[in-house]
């Protein structure tokens, strides 16, 4: 059996994408397309055929220029889907300018389709649009998304809340679905004596910070320091903080493990359609808890907030209510040992392990 994994514009070592590639390679021969901005050649290693596709992200130009550049990329990847030998097409994203073509091609060839949905696509796609354009985009993409799901043999979601929300509007058998959050890779047991009175914010993507800036300024007055890991945000230019550039995974986890709290709170780019954030379970959430650090989560991030409250591994705040948020954080400090015990008790739930790997492979085998 052979699997073609389309990483689309995810880089080679993207944690979620590459985890599926490595796991699948234990049972199948895998061809793996990934994005690069360098001149790389195709090669094979450990049952994996690596297919790099060079593409320059973020180049300046008008909408038409960007469209034709993206269409050229999609044409290249479509040729791979058309010409490669495989039994299962595993998609980590869809071809933006050809959203249905890869699905229809695979079906015509009699192949199985696995669709790994990282984001709530009708909401996430072109998320910077606003007003009527955004409304129209959501309507059109929702119809496309429904057809993509109906053609898929297995659909993978990052959270059970996102799964339930999508299934309300799509006629897809729930037995054809599985929830695979962005699990951490390692566990670091919490040690209170090694903790610094520090709040860390982890991530490579620029985020929109609103009330968080004032919250952190207030917490600095209570003796906390602020550390950004992997992202330098202009929004924090007037906020005293330490910046650490992007780190290899183990080093990043060690850095998180030293912090008192990990902050996961920011504004969606379009507050009218926030489902992609409401139902998200990002890497930083699982990594923080697996690193032994309690999380401070915005209350509108429903999937994360549900987990935090269920297992007592952090605090849920409304950052627009500054006084209440600070009170909750300071009270958490008084009960800090209890929260660390909760984290140590439940850490295994936040990490990719043999049991989850076997369940994932079983789902693939059964399609």
The predicted structure's pLDDT at residue 140? 81
Q: Is residue 292 part of a domain?
A: yes
323 vs 334: CA distance, rounded Å: 17
The predicted structure's pLDDT at residue 147? 94
- How many domains, in total, are found in the chain? 2
Same domain? For 145 and 214 the reply is: no
Same domain? For 310 and 360 the reply is: no
Which residues sit opposite 154 in a β-bridge? 114
Of 190, 343, 188, the closest CA to residue 253 belongs to 188
Q: Is residue 140 part of a domain?
A: yes
pLDDT tens figures, 336-360? 999 999 999 999 999 999 999 999 9
Q: What is the pTM assigned to this prediction?
A: 0.91
Same domain? For 199 and 341 the reply is: yes
Of 227, 216, 238, the closest CA to residue 322 belongs to 216
Same domain? For 18 and 91 the reply is: yes
Same domain? For 251 and 161 the reply is: no
The predicted structure's pLDDT at residue 134? 66
Q: Is residue 153 part of a domain?
A: yes
Same domain? For 153 and 97 the reply is: yes
Strands (E), the chain: 2-11, 29-36, 43-45, 48-54, 88-91, 112-116, 154-157, 177-179, 198-202, 225-229, 242-244, 261-264, 295-298, 314-317
Q: Please, are residues 143 and 170 in contact by the beta-carbon 8 Å criterion?
A: no
Non-local CB neighbours of 178 within 8 Å, separated by 6+ positions:
154, 155, 156, 157, 359, 360, 363
Same domain? For 285 and 359 the reply is: no
CATH number at residue 100: 3.40.50.2000
314-317: strand order across its sheet: 242-244, 225-229, 198-202, 261-264, 295-298, 314-317
The predicted structure's pLDDT at residue 234? 67
Same domain? For 321 and 343 the reply is: yes
Of 179, 190, 149, 172, the closest CA to residue 292 belongs to 190
48-54: strand order across its sheet: 43-45, 48-54, 29-36, 2-11, 88-91, 112-116, 154-157, 177-179
Q: Which residues of the chain have pLDDT under 50?
A: none
Please say whether the dihedral angle defined by the alpha carbons of residues 234, 240, 244 and 246, taken in this order, is positive or negative.
negative
Same domain? For 277 and 267 the reply is: yes
Same domain? For 207 and 235 the reply is: yes
Classify residue 229 as exposed, middle or buried by CB count within 10 Å of its CB (0-12, 13-18, 19+).
buried
Same domain? For 26 and 157 the reply is: yes
Same domain? For 20 and 71 the reply is: yes
User: Which residue segment(s) compose the domain that 294 sits in?
Assistant: 192-350
Q: Is residue 319 part of a domain?
A: yes
Q: Is residue 250 part of a domain?
A: yes
Q: Is residue 69 part of a domain?
A: yes
Q: Is residue 187 part of a domain?
A: no
The predicted structure's pLDDT at residue 57? 81
């Amino acid at each position: 059996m052979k699997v073609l994994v389309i990483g689309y514009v995810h880089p080679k070592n993207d944690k979620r994408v590459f985890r599926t590639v490595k796991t699948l390679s234990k049972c199948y021969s895998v061809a793996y397309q990934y994005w690069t901005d360098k001149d790389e050649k195709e090669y094979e290693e450990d049952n994996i055929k690596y297919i790099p596709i060079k593409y320059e992200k973020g180049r300046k130009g008008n909408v038409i220029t960007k469209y034709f550049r993206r269409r050229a990329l999609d044409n290249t990847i479509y040729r791979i889907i058309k010409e490669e030998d495989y039994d299962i097409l595993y998609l980590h994203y869809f071809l933006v300018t050809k959203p249905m073509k890869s699905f229809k091609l695979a079906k015509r060839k009699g192949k199985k389709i696995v669709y790994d949905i990282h984001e709530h696509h009708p909401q996430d796609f072109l998320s910077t649009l606003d007003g009527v354009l955004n409304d129209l985009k959501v309507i059109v993409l929702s119809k496309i998304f429904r057809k993509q799901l109906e053609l898929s043999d297995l659909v993978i979601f990052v959270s059970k809340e996102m799964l339930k929300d999508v299934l309300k509007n799509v006629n897809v058998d729930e037995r054809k679905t599985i929830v695979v959050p962005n699990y951490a890779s390692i566990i670091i047991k919490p040690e209170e004596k090694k903790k610094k009175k520090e709040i860390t914010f982890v991530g490579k993507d620029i985020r929109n910070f609103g009330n968080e800036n004032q919250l952190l300024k207030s917490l600095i007055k209570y003796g906390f320091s602020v550390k950004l890991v992997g992202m330098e945000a202009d929004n924090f230019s007037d906020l005293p903080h330490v910046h650490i550039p992007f780190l290899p995974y183990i080093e990043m986890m060690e850095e998180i493990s030293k912090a008192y709290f990990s902050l996961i709170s920011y504004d969606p780019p379009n507050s009218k359609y926030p489902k992609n954030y409401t139902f998200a379970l990002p890497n930083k959430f699982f990594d923080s808890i697996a690193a032994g650090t309690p999380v401070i989560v915005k209350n509108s991030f429903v999937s994360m907030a549900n987990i935090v409250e269920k297992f007592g591994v952090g605090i849920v705040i409304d950052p627009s209510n500054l006084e209440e948020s600070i009170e909750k954080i300071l009270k958490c400090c008084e009960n800090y040992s209890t929260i660390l015990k909760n984290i140590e008790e439940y850490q295994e739930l936040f990490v990719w392990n043999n049991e989850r790997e076997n369940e994932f492979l079983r789902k693939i085998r059964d399609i």
